[in-house]
Structure 1
Amino acid sequence: MTAVAALPATAAAATAVTVAADGSGNYTTIQAAVAAASAGTVITIKAGTYQGQVNIPAGKPGITLQGATGNSADIVITGNKPQSTAGATGSATVLNMAKDTTVKGLTIQNTYAAHDSQALALYAGGDRQVYRNVQLKGYQDTFLSWGGTGSAQVRQYVYKSYIEGAVDFIYGNGALVIDRTTIRSLDRGSSNNGYITAAATNASNRYGILITRSTLTSSAAAQTVALGRCWHAGGAADAIGQVLVRDSTLGAHIRQAGAWQDMSGFSWKTCRFSEYANTGAGATQGTSDRPQMSTSAAASYTAQNYLAGSDGWNPVQP
């Protein structure tokens, strides 16, 4: 029998590397580790705060970013760039354009909180991305799921996480499932404390944003936060946003009347907005502008169906 030669140390290091700001790992920055990574590389990040954008390009599929401690608050990737000066891709603290990536056990935040500009924490532009035990923090446009113009659609699954913002902070045209997650609306001290979603789902795509088995919470005044509004991105007539909030607990901050809002001259009724089997003080009390999905229809609007696509992808956890 011929002996199999051991892999050189450099090859082994390419599949599992550590980032530590204090120099105790293979790299001191996350971006340096991503630049050196190949498909399947697991990048473990030690506790600390890491400044500046992390860009995972489309040519780096299959990468895992994971916090070393299991506590998402220990590992913070932070930025402070607004879209007004840096553009959507430039403002994103994490720009993840790669498919088959997994991000877990860390915080991604954009601390720019002025009212005059969007400022992304996460731009998710790759297909079959999974986010577990993450915190996504921003103010306006925290989390974008975007597959480009037209009917192209990316899929992302967010599980047991935390998402925070005030205005349109979960938005885009992807097939996005947010499952068992806390969604916190910030208090702007106003009678209008913002909008949770802004979907721009292409009319040809059945599924858009699904919030399921989650908790919607806020310290804002009662009935001052909308579930979402209808974003016709770039004025596109075929951006017929689809959002379903189901099997979730809604706090008193959610509007009874006006839970779904118009945007840029487009009526919310041009989009596909609905709820199913929610509970809590913010759940509908029979208001006519809170459409409820029927039980028979809800059987088809499951997390698995949102994400299955043509390849049967199913990352959904119990």
Structure 2
Amino acid sequence: MRILTLCLLLILPLGAVAADFATEMTVASDGSGDFTRLQDAIDASKSFPLLPITIHVKNGVYQEKVDVHAWNTQLSLIGESREGTIIRFGDHFERVDRGRNSTFMTYTLRVAGNDFHAQNLTIENTAGPVGQAVALHVEADRAAFVNVSIKGYQDTVYLAGEGFRSWFSDCYIEGTIDFIFGQGTALFENCELRSLADGYVTAASTPAQEAHGLVFSECRLTAAPGVDAVYLGRPWRPFANAVFMDSEIGSHILPAGWHNWDDEVNEETARFAEYRNRGPGAERSRRVPWARQLKEPEAAAYRAERLFRGWQPPGR
């Protein structure tokens, strides 16, 4: 009996604490949910929860800068619809004005909690073509984005964190210069990458010891009218890794394909490659000689199983 009583005393407080925190909440800008602001719902979530937490977001425009903190693990933001659920803010480098690292503070949504999941919504930086202005900043491991639109101009998506894994599926991403950049490991599947002006799609900064950087599979590279001079990528750091596979490459991609960031030394270390792409921008004959065309055994190293190292993204 004494042992049973002791067990109950140990269990009951845990149950009481768990009951104080909801695992599902609703955010609605019209006041019909539990919260009207996303940040309020996130801040009300349990830190390092034992169970996943889902925040349902009704259609509406949420004009706020949103932080999913490192302690907000296992958090999902599920929108009512991609076109109707919009998270929007307009920070940019000059507005933040915090010195040389201001770019990394311009985000609309920053994800620092591991095992994050976003679906059916839009993340937008509305600053316009005024310089660095991040829409989505990911510095968490195992982050998944499904049916999400991410809109901006320069530096739209920043993937931070050495070896941190992200998955983007059926997403729309638009921008101008280096609009997908960083040192993280990410797989983009069946996504549309739309260039709004001449520039660069990627700017990877993959560490030398990491085998995988930015990998695009079955994606579509498109452009706004009049855009006709875009590179697949350039190396933000010497060992940048970016690979485009089985993708439709539009005519806006320059024949050279890749840029060395005005430094020939980068040509010796950058790990840029393509495999079995198609479309008018995929012609291989005029590609820079220091970028590679992969063979099947080499391409297999960039499949999801190798990139994710045991992680199974939700919904994949």
**TM exceeds 0.5?**
yes
Match of 2:119 in 1: 104
AA at the equivalent of 1:132? V
Pick one of 159, 163, 182 that aligns with 2:169: 159
The change in CA–CA distance for 1:268 and 1:215 in structure 2 (over 3 A counts) is farther
| Cα deviation, residue 137, structure 1 | 0.3
Match of 2:180 in 1: 170
TM-score for the superposition, normalised by structure 1: 0.86
The change in CA–CA distance for 1:45 and 1:8 in structure 2 (over 3 A counts) is farther
Structural mapping, 1:8-19, within 5 Å: 11=19, 14-19=22-27
Whether 1:299 aligns to 2:300 is: yes
Match of 2:7 in 1: none
Contact 2:21 2:45 in 1 (8 A): no
User: Which ranges of 4 or more aligned residues in structure 1 deviate by more than 6 Å?
Assistant: 7-10
Whether 1:28 aligns to 2:36 is: yes
The change in CA–CA distance for 1:15 and 1:241 in structure 2 (over 3 A counts) is same
Equivalent pairs counted in the alignment come to 292
| Cα deviation, residue 10, structure 1 | 8.9
Whether 1:204 aligns to 2:209 is: yes
| Cα deviation, residue 265, structure 1 | 3.5
Unaligned runs of 5+ in 2: 1-11, 97-101
Match of 2:4 in 1: none
The change in CA–CA distance for 1:105 and 1:195 in structure 2 (over 3 A counts) is same
Q: Deviations over 1:149-204 (max 9, x none)?
A: xxx321100001100001000010000111111111103xxxxx000000000000
CA distance in 2 between counterparts of 1:201 and 1:27 reads: 39
Give the secondary-structure state (helix, strand or coil) at the position aligned to 2:95. Answer: helix
Q: Deviations over 1:257-305 (max 9, x none)?
A: 2x21122646551310010000111112411415311222112221221
Give the secondary-structure state (helix, strand or coil) at the position aligned to 1:230. Answer: coil
Quick check: 217-226 or 296-305, which moved more?
217-226
Match of 2:271 in 1: 272
CA distance in 1 between counterparts of 2:262 and 2:33 reads: 49
| Cα deviation, residue 88, structure 1 | 3.2
Give the secondary-structure state (helix, strand or coil) at the position aligned to 2:83. Answer: helix
**Over alpha carbons, which structure has the higher Rg?**
2
| Cα deviation, residue 112, structure 1 | 1.1
CA distance in 2 between counterparts of 1:231 and 1:161 reads: 24
CA distance in 2 between counterparts of 1:169 and 1:297 reads: 26
Coordinate RMSD, CA, aligned: 2.2
Pick one of 155, 173, 185 that aligns with 1:141: 155
Whether 1:127 aligns to 2:141 is: yes
Match of 1:43 in 2: 55
CA distance in 1 between counterparts of 2:307 and 2:272 reads: 15
TM-score for the superposition, normalised by structure 2: 0.87
Give the secondary-structure state (helix, strand or coil) at the position aligned to 1:171. Answer: strand
Quick check: 80-89 or 54-63, which moved more?
80-89
